[in-house]
Amino acid sequence: MIPIVIALLIKIIRGRDLLDNAIFKNRFGTLLDGLSEKGFFGIYWNIVIMLRWTLTVVIIVALRDYYAIQIILLMMISLAVQMVLLHYKPFDGAVDNVLSLCNEILIMIYLYLLIGITDINVDYELRNLIGWCLLGVVLFSFAANFLKMIALFGIKYFRLLQ
């Protein structure tokens, strides 16, 4: 399987010139919408995210009996994505880069809080409080992303009116 992946990566990297092609942009332009076309991570950000989701699913399923290892590996993946976001800035807009970084930080906070509701913590009241904090982190993340969507929709709507 590894030789197939390497061959596909070589083919993808060689086909980078197609990104400037008008036919390619007409057919597949929405896949790169909002992403920076300057660096490797901007062009292949969607593939990086799909690999991350795949790794996450494998970790959750294969290590279902080892919750401590699950949390540590998921933290390492989140930290790697944070480093890529900080260094390579895969999005065109600064707001998108900052919001993605904030989402990753919230994922890290969520994972840290998950440690508190494992079997390590025997205090039921504290586990209940940590559960409420987890819910707060999820709702805060949802609210931040929803407000960004509403703001972008409002900006586009007002531009159409003018």
Report pLDDT digits (tens) over 65-124. 999 999 999 999 999 999 999 999 999 999 999 999 999 999 999 999 999 998 888 999
The total of other beta-carbon atoms located within 10 Å of residue 79's CB is 13
Using pLDDT thresholds of 50, 70 and 90, give the confidence band for residue 15: low
> Which residues does residue 37 pair with via DSSP β-bridges, in sequence order?
none
Domain boundaries, the chain: 1-32, 34-161
DSSP 17: G
Q: Residue 9: what pLDDT? A: 61
42 neighbors 35 (Cβ within 8 angstroms): yes
In the predicted model, is pLDDT for residue 162 greater than 90? no
Query: pLDDT: is 47 or 99 the higher one?
Result: 99
Locate 51 and state its tokens.
Answer: 């690999």
Proportion of the chain in helix, strand, coil states, percent, rounded to 5 = 85, 0, 15
Q: Could you give the count of Cα atoms lying within 13 Å of 81 in the half-sphere of its Cβ? A: 29
> Does the reported pTM lie above 0.85?
no
Q: Which two tokens stand for residue 112?
A: 């840290």
State the Cα–Cα distance between residues 133 and 19, nearest whole angstrom: 44
**Size of the chain, expressed as the number of residues it contains:** 162
Per DSSP, 1 falls in state -
**What is the reported pLDDT for 119?**
86
Phi and psi at residue 122, in whole multiples of 5°? -100, -10
Phi-psi region of 7 (alpha: psi -120 to 50; beta: other; left: phi over 0): alpha
pLDDT of residue 52: 94
Residues with Cβ within 8 Å of residue 86, at least 6 apart in sequence: 101
